[in-house]
């Protein structure tokens, strides 16, 4: 075997330091994972609106990073009063109680109004049209049962690390929820 030239001591010292730092970094990372996994969640999180805290400011429609916001109106039908004069559907002081565009509160006509039986009407949200502006939610909550409310739709939401709507929400209504229970639906208070 050929005699190997002796390595310079400097190189050995640097390798030794490098090894030391590498070991320290691995230890530190192990410690970090250990400390954080103690209170980490196995589940990832999603952004959602707490309907009880929502103040219907209308920024969900405009602040989302998506051009067509991931926030849409949801309807807890079991809470709905099926009112003929739905304050979530009609402008204040409407000309007439029909589906004319001039009577509707919704800027995109995303609420479908269907006669059920006298004097009840069913209201359903067309989510493809809804822009999450919360005008109907405001009307329904201020004067009605509050069965209309906003929710982040997770098949649309890109789940930004920092939600752009949460950042500007004046009601502080956005929160991270576990992915297995990603919706906060409204219930009737018993």
Partner 1 sequence: MLVRGWLICLCLGLGPLAVAEPRFPPPDFETEYQIPEEQYAPARALWVEYLDVAVLLGALGLASWFVARRRSRKAVLGLSLFSLLYFGFFKAGCVCAIGSVQNVALALFNPTYAIPLTVLVFFVAPLAVALFFGRTFCAAVCPHGALQDLILVKPVNVPRWLAQGLGVIPYLYLGLGVWFAATGGAFVICRYDPFVGIFRFSGSLTMMLVGALFVVTGLFVGRPYCRFLCPYGVLLKLAAKVSRWRVRITPDICTQCQLCEHSCPFGAIREPVVTRRDPRELARERRRFAALLALVPVLMLAGGWLGARFSGVAAQFHPVVELAELYLRHQTNPPSTPLPAVDALAYARAERDADALLANAVATRRQFNYGGWIFGAFAGLVVGAKLARYSIQPRRTDFEPDRGACYACARCFEYCPQERVRLGTWPAGEPIPGIAIPPSQGALSRKGTV
Q: Report the alpha-carbon distance of residue 97 to residue 87 in Å, rounded.
A: 11
3-class DSSP assignment, residue 160: coil
- Residue 77 beta carbon to partner 1: minimum distance, rounded to whole angstroms: 5
Location of structure tokens 């997770």: 154
Closer Cβ to partner 1, 66 or 109, answer by number? 66
CB neighbours of residue 99 within 10 Å: 14
What's the length of the chain?
190
Closer Cβ to partner 1, 62 or 108, answer by number? 62
- Residue 163 beta carbon to partner 1: minimum distance, rounded to whole angstroms: 9
Region of residue 146 (left: phi > 0; alpha: psi -120 to 50; beta: else): left
Whether the CB-CB separation of 145 and 80 falls below 8 Å is answered with yes
- Residue 59 beta carbon to partner 1: minimum distance, rounded to whole angstroms: 6
Closer Cβ to partner 1, 1 or 101, answer by number? 1
- Residue 104 beta carbon to partner 1: minimum distance, rounded to whole angstroms: 16
Closer Cβ to partner 1, 86 or 106, answer by number? 86
- Residue 130 beta carbon to partner 1: minimum distance, rounded to whole angstroms: 13
Exposed / middle / buried, residue 56 (Cβ in 10 Å: 0-12, 13-18, 19+) = buried
Q: Report the alpha-carbon distance of residue 110 to residue 89 in Å, rounded.
A: 10
Picking from 88, 188, 79, 168, the residue whose alpha carbon sits closest to that of residue 136 is 88
Closer Cβ to partner 1, 52 or 108, answer by number? 52
- Residue 136 beta carbon to partner 1: minimum distance, rounded to whole angstroms: 15
Closer Cβ to partner 1, 35 or 109, answer by number? 35
């Amino acid at each position: 075997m050929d005699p190997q030239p002796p390595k310079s001591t400097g190189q050995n010292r640097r390798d030794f330091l490098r090894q030391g730092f590498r070991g320290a970094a691995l230890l530190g990372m192990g410690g970090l994972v250990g400390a954080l996994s103690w209170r980490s969640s196995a589940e990832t999180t999603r952004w959602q609106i707490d309907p009880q805290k929502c103040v219907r400011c209308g920024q969900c429609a405009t602040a989302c990073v998506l051009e067509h916001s991931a926030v849409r109106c949801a309807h807890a039908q079991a809470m709905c009063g099926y009112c003929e004069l739905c304050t979530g559907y009609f402008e204040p002081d409407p000309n007439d109680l029909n589906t004319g565009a001039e009577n509707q509160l919704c800027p995109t006509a995303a609420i479908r109004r269907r006669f059920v039986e006298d004097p009840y009407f069913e209201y359903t949200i067309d989510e493809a049209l809804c822009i999450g502006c919360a005008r109907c939610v405001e009307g329904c909550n201020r004067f009605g049962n509050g069965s209309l409310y906003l929710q982040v739709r997770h098949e649309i939401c890109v789940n930004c690390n920092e939600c752009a709507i949460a950042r500007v929400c004046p009601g502080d209504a956005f929160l991270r929820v576990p992915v297995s229970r990603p919706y906060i639906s409204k219930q009737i208070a018993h």
